[in-house]
Amino acid sequence: MPGKAAPVAEAAPEGETRFAEHAPEGRLTAQRGLYAGPAPIVSKDLYAELEWGSAVRDRDALTVEPSSKVTGNTYFGRFPASYWQRWTTVTSVTVEAVVSGDGLLSVGASDLQGDARVVNAEQVSGAKARKVTMSASLDKFYDGGALWLDLETEGGQTLRVEQVRWTVEAPAVIRPTAVTICTMNRADDCLKNLQALAADVSSLHTLDAIYVADQGTDLVESRDGFEQVAKDLGDKLHYIKQPNLGGAGGFTRGLYEVAGHTATEHANVLFMDDDVLLEPDLVVRMTAFSNRAANPIIVGGQMLNLLHPNQLHVGAEYARLNTLEPGQPVTHSLSTADLLGVDEDTLKPNRQERRLDAGYNGWWSCLIPYEVVKAIGYPMPFFFQWDDAEYSYRAREYGFPTVTLPGAGVWHADFHWKDWDEWHRYFNLRNSIITAALHSPFNLNLLSRVLLAQLVRYLLGMQYGLSATLIKAVEDFLEGPEVLRDGGVAAMKEIRRIRGEYPETKRHKATDVPGIASNDIGIINSAPRPSMQRLVLIKRVIDRVLGRSRFGLGAVPIDEAHWWHIALFDTAVVTDASQEGVRVRTYDKVKMFDLARRGAKVIQRLRKEGAGVQEQYKRAMPELTSRENWKRLYEL
C-alpha cells in the first residue's frame, strides 16, 4: 500500500529533544537571488525584470546577453532593507554572486518615495566563476526603501551570475525551526508542498522538523508520492493524524509538539497552509529575519493571489475589532496590487516602499517564536477564522508585535473567489465577537448596530440561511466559553444542519436550476449605489413588509448582488462568487419575519448580557489556551 513504509510520528513522548540551538556555519543567508519562480504560471518578472536587451533567466542563474540590463528591483528580487534596519540588530548586508564573463554589477537602493540610487558597484572583466561581494549599510531606510542587484552589459559583453546570496552576520547561535502544515482532505496539495521543501536544499537545511497535522479522511500518506518524499525528508518529517479541529487545531499542533521537544525557548514554528503554491525561499527569508530580530516578534509572510499570480493580496493588514472587520489594509499598504503594474496616481511601479506596521498576519505563512507561546499560551480553540488575528492581538498586549515581511510570499487562492454565504461564516462571526470581547473596548451599542445592519442587509438580499448563521453565531457567543470546549466540532455540524434548511445556501448549475427553466433566466442589472442609502433602505423594508416587488425572476451577477437590487425581486438567481454555479434566492415573508424577530431578540440580549459574557471569556482564556486543554482536545 502506498505510504506503508513511511515514518509516522504519533506525538512523540514529551522530553525527547528534537530542537536545540546550533552554531552558525559562516554568514547567515537572508535571502537568495532567484530568477524564475517555483512553477511556470509565475512570471519571471516577479524575480528579475529585463529593462532592455535580452537575457536567459533560470531559477538559480541569470545570463545577460550583450547590450542588456536586468534589474532585481522586483517583488522577490528586493531585499527589504527598511524592515531589517527597524527590527533587527544587523547594520549591513552583503550580496554575493558567482560571476562569469564581463559586465557591471550594481547594488540599487530606494527610499520611502521610491527614488532610486546606487550604493555600490563593481565592473568585472574576463571573470571565470569568480566570487563577487558587495556590501551596503542598513542606515538610511528607517521609514522605507529596499536594496536590489542590477546587472548590465555593453556591446560584445556577456555576463552570467549564479549562486546569488544576500547574507548578514550570523548570530551567536541559530534558532531551530519547525514548519507546521495543517491539512484536511487536500492530500495532493499538501504532498506538492512537501515535495517542494524536499527538493529545495537551502530551505530544507534551514529546517529542523516538518510537522504535518492531517485531520482528514483522504490522507496524505495514501498518495503514491508520499513514501518517496518521506524518505527524502528523513527524520525531519513528522506525520500526525488527529481529530479534525480546524485550522486552529492543526496549526496549534506544531506549537504543541515543538514545546514538548525543545531544549531551548529560542525556537521558531512556521505555519504554512496546505493549499499554497510555495516559494521555498520564504523559509530562508523568514527564519533569517527572526534569527537576527532584536527581540522576539511574529514574522508574517505575504499572500499573492493564486488565480492572478502577479497580484499581492495586501502589504500588511489589521482588524477593526469592535466592528468585526478583518483584512483592513494599513495606511500606505498595497492592496490587490498588480506587482508588474504601476500606481494609477503616482505612475510609479507598484512597490511597497514604506515600512508598515501590521496588526496581524494570516496563517498561510506565519512564524511564531516559542518565547511568544511561553508568554501568552496557545491559540484559542476557535476551529478556524480569526484564530490568527486573536493570537497576534494577544501577543501585542504582551509586547510581541507582528511584522509582515515583504518579499516573503506564497500564492493562495484569491479570497474574493470564495462566497461569503457559506457555513464557515458562522465561525467568522462568532470568533470575531469573542476576539472583540477579549481585545477591544467592546462597545456593545456599536457592535449591536453593526450586527443589526448586517442582518437587515441579509434579509433584504433574501439570504435567509446567512441570517440564521448570524443569529446562531451571536447565540453561541452568549453561551459563553463552554461553546469552545470541544474545539468547534459540534458547532461545525450544527451550523451545516441549520443552513441545510435554507435552499438559497445550495449551489446549482445555471442550466439545471430546480423548478426554473434555464431560458427564462435573463440578466437584470443593478442601478448604481443609491446616494441616499438610508431612505432607500427604509423604502425597501416597507416594500418587503407589504410584499411588493419590481421583478418576478432574474439573474444577477455576483458583483451586482447588492441588497438594494436583490430586494426588488421575487426570485433572484445570483452567481456564486466561485463562478461555478448559481444560488436561487426566493422571497419568503414568513421566514423573513421569523428571522427578523429572532435576530432582534438575540442582538438585544447581546446589548444586555454582553459585558457579563465578556468577563466569562476573559476568565476562561488562560484555561482555553493552555497546553492541558489542547492535550485533551488532541486526545493524548
**504-518, 535-549, 596-610: range with highest mean pLDDT:** 596-610
Q: What is the mean pLDDT of residues 203-227?
A: 95
Q: 332: left (phi > 0), else alpha (psi -120 to 50), else beta?
A: left
Which triple of cell numbers denotes residue 433?
465577537
What does DSSP say about strands 268-273 and 177-183: parallel, antiparallel, or unpaired? parallel
| 88: β partners | 293
CB-based contact 209:19 (threshold 8 Å): yes
Q: What is the mean pLDDT of residues 343-354?
A: 90
388 is catalytic: yes
Which triple of cell numbers denotes residue 259?
514545546
Phi, psi values for residue 438, rounded to 5°: -85, -30
Please tell me the distance from the alpha carbon of residue 373 to that of residue 258, in angstroms, as a whole number: 10
Which triple of cell numbers denotes residue 233?
525528508
Helix then strand then coil, % of the chain, to nearest 5:
35, 30, 35
Burial of 128 (0-12, 13-18, 19+ CB in 10 A): exposed
**What is the pLDDT confidence band of residue 347, given thresholds at 50, 70 and 90?**
confident
What does DSSP say about strands 298-305 and 402-412: parallel, antiparallel, or unpaired? parallel
Which triple of cell numbers denotes residue 540?
425597501
Which triple of cell numbers denotes residue 7?
515514518
| 177: β partners | 268
What is residue 8's predicted lDDT score, i.e. its pLDDT?
38
Which triple of cell numbers denotes residue 380?
484559542
Burial of 397 (0-12, 13-18, 19+ CB in 10 A): exposed
Q: What is the mean pLDDT of residues 296-317?
A: 97
What lies within 8 Å, CB to CB, of 11 at 6+ separation is: 240, 257, 260, 634, 636
* pLDDT over 90, % of the chain: 90
**What is the pLDDT confidence band of residue 14, given thresholds at 50, 70 and 90?**
low
Q: Which of 371, 304, 319 is nearest to 38 (CA)?
A: 304
Phi, psi values for residue 610, rounded to 5°: -55, -45
What does DSSP say about strands 551-556 and 569-575: parallel, antiparallel, or unpaired? parallel
590 pLDDT exceeds 70? Answer: yes
**What is the pLDDT confidence band of residue 15, given thresholds at 50, 70 and 90?**
low
What is residue 298's predicted lDDT score, i.e. its pLDDT?
98
Q: Which of 290, 126, 287 is nearest to 209 (CA)?
A: 287
What lies within 8 Å, CB to CB, of 541 at 6+ separation is: 456, 460
CB-based contact 44:36 (threshold 8 Å): yes
Measured CA distances, 580 to 44, 72, 507, 583 (Å)? 30, 39, 8, 10
Which triple of cell numbers denotes residue 604?
438585544
Please tell me the distance from the alpha carbon of residue 189 to that of residue 186, in angstroms, as a whole number: 5
What is the residue type of 571? Answer: T
Please tell me the distance from the alpha carbon of residue 88 to that of residue 82, in angstroms, as a whole number: 10
A 10 A CB-CB count for 410 gives 22
244 pLDDT exceeds 90? Answer: yes
Q: Which of 316, 182, 230 is nearest to 2 (CA)?
A: 230
4 pLDDT exceeds 50? Answer: no
Q: What is the mean pLDDT of residues 364-390?
A: 96
Please tell me the distance from the alpha carbon of residue 313 to that of residue 623, in angstroms, as a whole number: 35
Which triple of cell numbers denotes residue 504?
438559497
7 pLDDT exceeds 50? Answer: no
**What is the pLDDT confidence band of residue 345, given thresholds at 50, 70 and 90?**
confident
Burial of 526 (0-12, 13-18, 19+ CB in 10 A): middle
Element spanning 628, H or E:
helix 627-633
Round the CA-based radius of gyration of the chain to a whole number and report it.
27
Point out the catalytic residue in the list 388, 421, 476, 576: 388
Q: Where are the alpha helices (DSSP H) in 244-349?
A: 246-260, 281-292
What is residue 142's predicted lDDT score, i.e. its pLDDT?
97
Phi, psi values for residue 115, rounded to 5°: -75, 130
A 10 A CB-CB count for 144 gives 22
Q: Which residues of 250-285 are buried (b: 16+ CB within 10 A; e: fewer)?
A: bbbbbbbbbbbbbeebbbbbbbbbbbbbbbbbbbbb
Average pLDDT, the chain: 94
Please tell me the distance from the alpha carbon of residue 363 to that of residue 108, in angstroms, as a whole number: 32
What is the residue type of 312? Answer: L
Over residues 432-473, the pLDDT tens digits come to: 999 999 999 999 999 999 999 999 999 999 999 999 999 999
Q: What is the mean pLDDT of residues 553-559?
A: 95
**What is the pLDDT confidence band of residue 3, given thresholds at 50, 70 and 90?**
very low
Which triple of cell numbers denotes residue 43?
512570471
| 174: β partners | 22
Q: Which of 469, 547, 549 is nearest to 504 (CA)?
A: 469
What lies within 8 Å, CB to CB, of 235 at 6+ separation is: 7
What is residue 5's predicted lDDT score, i.e. its pLDDT?
36
Over residues 62-101, the pLDDT tens digits come to: 999 999 999 999 999 999 999 999 999 999 999 999 999 9
